[in-house]
Structure 1
Amino acid sequence: MNLEDMPQASLNAVKAKDRAGWLALFEDDALVQDPVGPCEWDPEGVGQQGKEAIGRFYDMFMGFQDSLDYEIHHQVVRGNEAAVALTLHIMMKDGTKQESRAINIYKASENGKIASLRSFW
């Protein structure tokens, strides 16, 4: 996959609730840090390494949201990484809406897959 298309492909798969399609974008040993640093579901702040762990992360975050949409405000590609400024529009299963601004950093592997996804929010 072309690095410039990687962020939108990832976000579109999540928006479509396409778990298999989203996981297929990642290398087998990929790393997802969403968010970067310690949080409730990642107290050590090390992220999720490998497709099995990334799949569990997907199941967790999809478990509390009904739908997700997004706006990409700005994207810069340098080397094998893309930085994306975006806003996520999330409808929670309880009917509440959340808006979250984030900066996502996608690192591409030599195979054209996501080697890492780091989200700052």
Structure 2
Amino acid sequence: MDAITWNAPDADHPARRAARASMTAVAEGRKDDWLDLFTPDALIEDPVGPSFLDPSGGGHRGRAGTEAFWTNFISTIAGFRFDIADSFANGPCCANVATITTTTHDGSTMTIDCVLIYTVDDAGRITSLRAHWEPDRAMATITKA
């Protein structure tokens, strides 16, 4: 099964390319490739606002914050599956309507319905990733292996 299913418009756009590259790097566990997609001062808000992943709600900023986000969260998941239902690209942004299914090392899964908004600079590097999802809704989908 492919790690990314794209059932959305896919016309070429810099932010859409960056979004797809980001998802691919995450699904394939390619940390350095993923980090290289971001500008040095990028901001990751995943999810947007305070949560158990970011109690202050300020997001993860800069190279150190981006790297910490990978280390503390992405790397703790054994597998990612991205299902993209729709995609809206305009200006420097792309908003993707997605369902992300994560699988932990013990085989448990969680489903995250979300909207992922990527903003890029003129070189196509990600300046911000804003993931809109509700942690309580996602936690309610956990199935134990």
Could you tell me which amino acid in structure 2 is paired with residue 35 of structure 1? Answer: P
CA contact (8 A) 2:95 2:117 kept: yes
Q: Which residue of 2 aligns with 1:45?
A: 57
Q: After alignment, is 87-96 or 13-22 more displaced?
A: 87-96
Q: Which residue of 2 aligns with 1:11?
A: 23
Question: Taking structure 2 as the reference length, what is the TM-score of the superposition?
Answer: 0.79
Report which of the two structures shows the higher radius of gyration computed on alpha carbons: 2
Of Structure 1 and Structure 2, the greater strand share is in 1
Could you tell me which amino acid in structure 2 is paired with residue 19 of structure 1? Answer: K
**Counterparts of 1:63 and 1:106 in 2: how far apart (Å)?**
21
Deviations 1:35-93 (A, max 9, x none): 00001131110100101111111111134311111111100011111100011111112
Sequence identity percentage: 31
Could you tell me which amino acid in structure 1 is paired with residue 103 of structure 2? Answer: M
**Counterparts of 1:2 and 1:45 in 2: how far apart (Å)?**
27
Q: After alignment, is 1-10 or 107-116 more displaced?
A: 1-10
**Counterparts of 1:38 and 1:81 in 2: how far apart (Å)?**
23
Tell me the matched-pair count. 121
Partner residue of 1:105 out of 109, 113, 117: 117
**Counterparts of 1:40 and 1:89 in 2: how far apart (Å)?**
18
CA deviation after TM superposition for structure 1 residue 98, in Å: 1.1
**Counterparts of 2:15 and 2:53 in 1: how far apart (Å)?**
28
**Counterparts of 1:58 and 1:64 in 2: how far apart (Å)?**
9
Gaps of 5+ in 1: none
Question: Taking structure 1 as the reference length, what is the TM-score of the superposition?
Answer: 0.94
**Counterparts of 1:14 and 1:88 in 2: how far apart (Å)?**
11
**Counterparts of 1:41 and 1:76 in 2: how far apart (Å)?**
26
Moved over 4 A (4+): none
Could you tell me which amino acid in structure 2 is paired with residue 100 of structure 1? Answer: I
**Counterparts of 2:71 and 2:87 in 1: how far apart (Å)?**
27
